[in-house]
Amino acid sequence: MAESRTFTGLLAATAVGVYLLVLAGATTTLTDAAAACTTWPLCDGPVDVTNTALLVAWGHRLVAAAVGLLVVAVAVIGLRSSCRGRVKAAILLGTALYPVQIALGAVVATSTETALPGAHLALGMGIFGSFVLALAWHLEAETGSDDETPVKNPTLAPEPADDGPARSPTLSTRERIVETASAYFRLMKPRLMWLLCLVAAAGMALAAGQTLTVRTVLLTLGGGVLSIGASGTFNHVLERDIDKRMDRTSDRPIATHQIPVRHALAFGLLLSLASLGLFWQVNALVALLGLTAILFYSVIYTLVLKPNTVQNTVIGGAAGALPALIGWVAADGSIGLPGVVLAIVIFLWTPAHFYNLALAYKDDYEAGGFPMMPVVRGETETRKHIVYYLGATLIASGVLGVLTSLSWLYAVTSVLLGAVFLWAVILLHREQTEAAAFRAFHASNAYLGAVLIAIVVDALAL
């Protein structure tokens, strides 16, 4: 077991190292640092510490050498170990491609061919993907259980007795107003607001950079807060009966009759209209995307996807991805490729993020009759898919770095926080506890929050 865990750590370190190399290569390309070192494998002449481009080029090559040692080590240990055949195959593929990557890098450094850097980076992404697959499959074999009995068709738990509107102790007028206001605020799902608004802010910053206006920011984020509130309110209304069956949601304002359904519907409609009004002042396309986000989360996700398919979290990630497009369109006026890639990052991150919560609340979701991944396919399969989607998220983040002028701050943040997220997921595989699931859940929040802040700072200040 100790040997297996050592190999797991080495495999994870190799994957992170390859990812660091890919982003270092992207930074080298975007800063045109390769022009400062046109020989290979070493740069001619003395190292000039005042020449930033030269230092970047040297750093890229030193990282490539260090990662190469990791690749060789994991290949030797992996082939000598008793790990599964597909794990060895993935490792061999990544190892075989690495010398090709080095040779292509040498050609990039000594050639003026403009198409080669893109191929170089794409191959790096492929190598990273190979080691991520090897890691996911190895963790499945190392920590998976054959004793799981997934539920094919989860059924609703009996609905608890409905005693009517909750009776509060005698309150003063002021206390009653505060309690009611707090209940309406909870309908808006405020914990989602900060991250989704940060997504929109990153989209705006990418599109406009330092030319971004205060008016655009205020109208877009204001509309975003209200649209999130409207979506959350409709979700509370539509799931009020199921909420009563789940411990996590049984105290929600509509489930406890603290707020009447008709009042909540009116509140949701008011928030929707106010949101679209603010979005319309930015431009019509932003308003259309805002309306799409509200309808997708409230109707498509809540009524169609969540209760009917195990892929609800994956497809439902489109709702969280739309703020990226809203932010980009608010600043640019049209949909651009970097905005789409940012949306893809959020889309792929969502399962890697939410599956941790699904693991922590597996029994609750089963009681609610929701076909979540841990309920339908088991915890082992869910943990493996977290690694899949984490790897895909990091690849998409790397693509975003290549397509934009984001600097070293974005690259370093993505690598460091991505490594923290990955390590939390590895611990989740080993510990398989509710605490470990919440740790990975919070690590996913930290990763995305830090990356989005880095995008904003990079685009606006650097």
User: Measured between alpha carbons, how far is residue 459 from residues 9, 122, 208, 238 in Å?
Assistant: 34, 24, 8, 40
Q: Which CATH class is domain 2-143?
A: mainly alpha
Q: pLDDT tens digit string along 268-284? A: 999 999 999 999 999 99
Distance, CA of 374 to CA of 408 (rounded, Å): 38
Average pLDDT over residues 88-105: 91
- Report pTM: 0.90
Give me the pLDDT at residue 261, please: 94
Domain residue ranges in the chain: 2-143, 175-461
% of the chain surpassing 90 pLDDT: 60
Distance, CA of 99 to CA of 66 (rounded, Å): 13
Among the residue ranges 54-63, 343-352, 411-420, 443-452, the one predicted with the least confidence is 54-63
Average pLDDT over residues 297-305: 93
Closest CA to 356 of 439, 449, 448, 451: 439
Tokens of 401: 């770095």
Distance, CA of 77 to CA of 375 (rounded, Å): 35
Say if CB 309 and CB 176 are below 8 A apart.
no
Give me the pLDDT at residue 421, please: 95
Contacts of 105 by beta carbon, 8 Å cutoff, 6+ apart: 25, 40, 64, 120
Q: pLDDT tens digit string along 166-207? A: 555 676 788 888 989 999 999 999 888 889 999 999 999 999
Q: What is the 3-state secondary structure (H, E, C) of 309-338?
A: CCCHHHHHHHHHHHHHHHHHHHHHCCCCHH
Give me the pLDDT at residue 21, please: 86
Distance, CA of 306 to CA of 449 (rounded, Å): 25
Sequence letter at residue 291 = L
Q: pLDDT tens digit string along 128-147? A: 999 999 999 999 988 887 55
Q: Which CATH class is domain 175-461?
A: mainly alpha
Mean model confidence pLDDT for the chain: 87
